[in-house]
Structure formats: structure tokens, C-alpha cells
Amino acid sequence: MNNQEYAKMVLNELTHTLTKIDTNSAEKFVELVDAADEVFCAGAGRSGFQIKGFAMRLMHMGKASYVVGETCTPNIKEDGLLVVCSGSGETKSLVNHAMKAKEVGAKVALITINPESTIAKIADVVVEISAPSPKSAKQGEVVSIQPMGSLFEQSEGLFMDISIMMLMERKGLDSDTMFGRHANME
């Protein structure tokens, strides 16, 4: 197969996963992000890379956002939101983060394949992405040609970008306004 054929197959997979996300869950996710004083972002592995991009876009919007585990991340408080990306919803460190957030009264949002997971059971909103992953007991509806959890990781990144677009619309922001907060020490 050539790159064009692979591209069409991957785009079809992404169309499937993104259009299967429940609209009510997506709206609630955006509402929780919008209402939070601070947003704490956590994920492991490739999901961790995706969530860092989300934290950056929130910062571009003027929202206080942090990546859990970074040395300059403050403590989460009652008015905070923890956003967790975890295909399985069972990654031990992420389960611990979610439990700590709930312990202090903060909200938890989970983006996952597994809406029955440990984190899902304590989350205030669960955004389910129907994609396969070798780490999840529950497999999504689609069978992917891509390796391992690639489809989930791509889908969660695109879902978070779509959420940013929804937040931008709510706040009346555009890319030019947000670019004013882009790093100038690169």
C-alpha cells in the first residue's frame, strides 16, 4: 500500500471514532473546562504527549493550566479540574491522581476507551472514544490498521482540539488573540 491509501484508511478510522463521541459528554467536558479555575492535565505515554498539547492550548486561551508531574505544577484545589487521558482508565499513577483530585473536592474528566474503568467510576464526565488498544480490557467498535493504541491517541488529541474550538466559540476568541500568548522564548 502507498501513503495515499494508508492516509484514506486512517482518516476513515478517525472519522468513525470522532463522530461516535457522545455529544452530551463532549458538551459536559467543555462546560467543566470552562468553569474550572485551574485545569490539571494528566496522561501517560503517548496520551501524555497529547494532553500536554491540550494544556498548552488552554494556556493560549488564558486559562490557568498545568501538566501533572511537572516541577512547577501547584496543588489541585476544590475549584480545579483534573483532565485524564487514559485508554484503559486503569493506569495506576492516573488512578491515584484522580482519587487525590476527588479527595480535595476537585472535578475529574476522563477521556478513555473504557467507560467502566476505575477512573470512570469516580469521574464527573467520561468521554468515550471507540478505538482499540492493547492496554484496555474494553475494545472500541473499530478495528484499526494502525499499531497499538495509535487510533485512540490521535482521536483523543483531535477531540481535545475540537474542545478548544468549542471553548473559543463560547469565549469569542480567535487564533490571533490566542497567538498573543504563544511562547516568545523558543
Closest CA to 84 of 117, 47, 56, 121: 47
- Active site (annotated) includes residue 128: no
Secondary structure class of 83 (helix, strand, coil): strand
Q: Report the run of H or E that residue 8 belongs to, with start and end.
A: helix 3-19
Catalytic residue among 116, 153, 156, 186: 153
Alpha-helical segments (H) within 20-137: 23-35, 45-60, 92-103, 118-122
Beta bridge partners, 111, equal 85, 127
User: Residue 111: left (phi > 0), alpha (psi -120 to 50), or beta?
Assistant: beta
Distance (Å, rounded) from C-alpha 186 to C-alpha 178? 17
Question: Which residues are catalytic, by number?
Answer: 153
